[in-house]
Amino acid sequence: MHSGLWRFGDWYDPIPDSARITLGEGNSPIVRSRRLGPSVGLKNLYFKLEITNPTGSYKDRFACAAISDMVAHGKTECIATSSGNTGASLAAYCAVAGISCEIAIVEGAPEGKLRQMLAYGAKLYRIRGFGIDAKISDRVIECLRILSSRPTAQMQISAFAYCPVGMSGVKSIGLELAEQGPEPWDHIFCMAGGGGLVLAVARAYEQLYESGSVLQLPRVECVQPVGNNTISGPLRAGFEIAQAIQCTSKISGLQVPSVIDGNEVINACRKNGGTGHLVEDDFIWKTQSRLAREEGIFAEPAGSTAVAGALQAAIDGSIDPNAHVVCLVTGSAFKDPASLEAMVRHTSAPLIDLSDLERRLDSVR
């Protein structure tokens, strides 16, 4: 009996049992919103907590399938790009598999994620302009493609455009959601950088629908920061293709100025009735803080973005208050120390004397 990600192994690109590695990824829980949903009139808002994965993000699903595929083909060198979470996941799974891991990092990657990658033994280098400028970002990927052309190497980028086998593992999110809902989901809100997560969830449901396992397709909603409007704006405006941009968003992990999987996302969301949502960075940070203080969910800014999109849609009146809505909470706040510091900058833990505590007792007697 397979566990973790491999419980759905028959739904992915084929990887033999002998090559399948695992750290216990997948099977993340869903929890019902107690305060955020009701505050905007949503009666059935849920969160899928991908922060419970081994390295703290949903990218473990990608890395599990991607590195298992490398094991199956006898590859020993992983060449990758990352803004943080992908790199941490790949570094961890490479450590399990005994594969070297070399990662080109976007300029603005949080130090916490870099330390996590380094702790797993990865070799890193940050590249100026990568993740901000589309031309530089595209050129970085082209250089890595050449580097990974060696027989022992393989490039890993968490996008269907580059690594469909690894991304097939991300479809497990949709497969789990189909089992977990108290009712069929009406809306699934996903954050998007390059769009791979949105596409994976949409494709999982397409497979489920075609097999007769579900009777309706949920609307898969694509949420991006205003400053990284590659997909959501064009999707909402009725355009057929995504657009490359100059990224101005400060939300780490969602600074992806190139199209990547964007065109396929637009096509997939059109099929299921989903649309695009753009949210300001400040609203994402506010949502991150509210998730912690009102729901007990400790998410990084990128991991809070889908929730911000759902709240904004509810405020705008574009969601039925009775709809069953689930948001993917994709990464832990432990992975982004700067955003965590910003959340608590107006509070502190002062050192006090016992006499100070005793005076408090006097005040309640």
CA-closest candidate to residue 141, choices 263, 258, 264 = 258
CATH 3.40.50.1100 domain extents, the chain? 4-54+168-343, 59-166
Average pLDDT, the chain: 94
Q: What is the pLDDT of residue 1?
A: 45
Q: What is the pLDDT of residue 196?
A: 97
For the packed helices 281-290 and 301-316, what is the interaxial angle rounded to 10 degrees? 100
User: Of 9 and 283, which is predicted with more confidence?
Assistant: 283
Q: Is 285 helix (H, G, I), strand (E, B) or coil?
A: helix
What is the greatest pairwise CA distance in the chain? 76
- Average pLDDT (248-276) is 94
CA-closest candidate to residue 191, choices 47, 361, 68 = 47
pLDDT in tens, 84-100: 899 999 999 999 999 99
Backbone angles phi, psi at 286, to 5 degrees: -65, -40
Q: How far apart are CA 202 and CA 302, in angstroms?
A: 20
pLDDT in tens, 56-69: 999 999 999 999 99
User: pTM value?
Assistant: 0.93
Out of 34-48, 122-136, 268-282, 336-350, least confident range: 336-350
The CATH number fitting domain 59-166, selected from 3.40.50.1100, 2.60.40.10, 3.10.450.50, 3.90.850.10? 3.40.50.1100
**Block residue for tokens 């949105």:** 198
Q: Give, in words, the CATH class of 4-54+168-343.
A: alpha beta
